[in-house]
């Protein structure tokens, strides 16, 4: 098994515990570097965490020093109900004093999604410069078939070794998406997976054993090279031994 497991009773406890951790991480990183960069995910699981950051913890963070990126985006307008940006905006970004320039959106309006992916790759590279640094934190979820971000089983994106972002077609709604890839996810200082729901338990068991092929279960390919990996799992998703 790679990574640390934090077992929580339910989604509420998971969200509260993860929110406290995220705020501590922002505080210590800002103290050290005067900046904090996080890549966030969509899906249902992180919604409560985002809300806690926007309410209980809003005053504990200097939002001017925080940069928000996205692990993946659905190729729809930002006001579409399926947009990850829209969800994160409603739960968190609209409710905290974060400057718009600190919010790094995945472009979704070009006729060619490959061009959008290339622009996002360039944006990430120009933000971090050439020193090899990357996100201080990546927040990921996992689907019941083992996908993470928009890296789905069998996708050619799983074998990407150069580009940080790529356009994909996935077997989910909506099918057209842009996703970050292993080369950038695995450079993060910390990756935290937030997992809740009993339909994830089976797949999680295989992944935590550490022997599965990431082509089958893409979440298994997230292995920070130099960073920390934390699994926040509630009891519903916790595999039985």
Please give the Cα distance from 191 to 134 (Å, whole number).
Answer: 11
> What is the phi/psi pair of residue 112, to 5°?
-110, 105
Report the residue number, 149 or 222, with the smaller CB distance to ligand 6PG.
149
Min CB(129)–ligand 6PG separation in Å: 26
- Contact code string over 126-155 relative to ligand 6PG, x by CB under 6 A: ---------------xxx---xxx------
Report 174-203 residues binding ligand 6PG (CB under 6 A): 197
Check if the beta carbon of residue 128 is closer than 8 Å to that of residue 134: yes
Question: Which residue number, 60 or 121, has a Cβ lying nearer to ligand 6PG?
Answer: 121
Q: Provide the strand spans (E) within the chain.
A: 4-8, 36-40, 66-70, 72-74, 137-140, 165-169, 176-180, 190-195, 228-234
- Cβ–Cβ under 8 Å, residues 43 and 195: no
18, 29, 42, 207: which one contacts ligand 6PG (CB under 6 A)? 42
Binding mask 98-127 for ligand 6PG (x = CB under 6 A): ------------------------------
The long-range contacts involving 203-206, CB below 8 angstroms and separated by at least 24 positions, are 203/142, 203/144, 203/145, 203/146, 204/142, 204/233, 204/237, 204/238, 204/239, 205/239, 205/240, 206/146
Binder among 45, 83, 155, 186 for ligand 6PG (CB under 6 A): 45
Minimal distance, residue 27 CB to ligand 6PG, in Å: 25
- In the complex, the smallest distance separating the C-beta of residue 195 from ligand 6PG, rounded to whole angstroms, is 8
Q: How many residues bind ligand 6PG (CB under 6 A)?
A: 15
Return the number of the residue (91 or 147) whose C-beta is nearest ligand 6PG. Answer: 147
Q: How far apart are CA 127 and CA 114, in angstroms?
A: 20
* List of residues contacting ligand 6PG (CB under 6 A): 41-45, 71-72, 84, 141-143, 147-149, 197
């Amino acid at each position: 098994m790679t990574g640390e497991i934090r077992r929580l009773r339910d989604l509420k406890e998971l969200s509260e515990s993860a929110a406290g951790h995220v705020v501590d991480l922002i505080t210590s990183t800002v103290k050290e570097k005067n900046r904090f960069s996080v890549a966030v995910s969509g899906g249902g699981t992180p919604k409560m965490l985002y809300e806690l950051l926007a309410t209980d913890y809003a005053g504990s963070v200097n939002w001017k020093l925080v940069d928000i990126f996205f692990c993946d985006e659905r190729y729809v307008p930002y006001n579409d109900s399926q947009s990850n940006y829209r969800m994160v905006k409603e739960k968190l970004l609209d409710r905290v004093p974060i400057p718009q320039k600190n919010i790094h959106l995945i472009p979704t309006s070009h006729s060619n999604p490959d061009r959008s992916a290339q622009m996002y790759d360039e944006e990430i590279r120009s933000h971090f410069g050439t020193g090899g640094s990357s996100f201080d934190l990546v927040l990921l979820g996992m689907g019941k078939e083992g996908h993470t971000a928009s890296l789905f089983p069998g996708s050619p994106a799983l074998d990407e070794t150069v580009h940080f972002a790529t356009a994909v077609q996935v077997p989910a709604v909506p099918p057209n998406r842009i996703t970050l890839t292993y080369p950038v996810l695995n450079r993060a200082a910390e990756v935290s997976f937030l997992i809740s729901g009993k339909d994830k338990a089976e797949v999680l068991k295989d992944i935590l054993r550490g022997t599965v092929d990431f082509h089958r279960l893409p979440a298994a390919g997230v292995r920070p090279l130099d960073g920390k990996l934390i699994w926040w799992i509630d009891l519903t998703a916790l595999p039985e031994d």
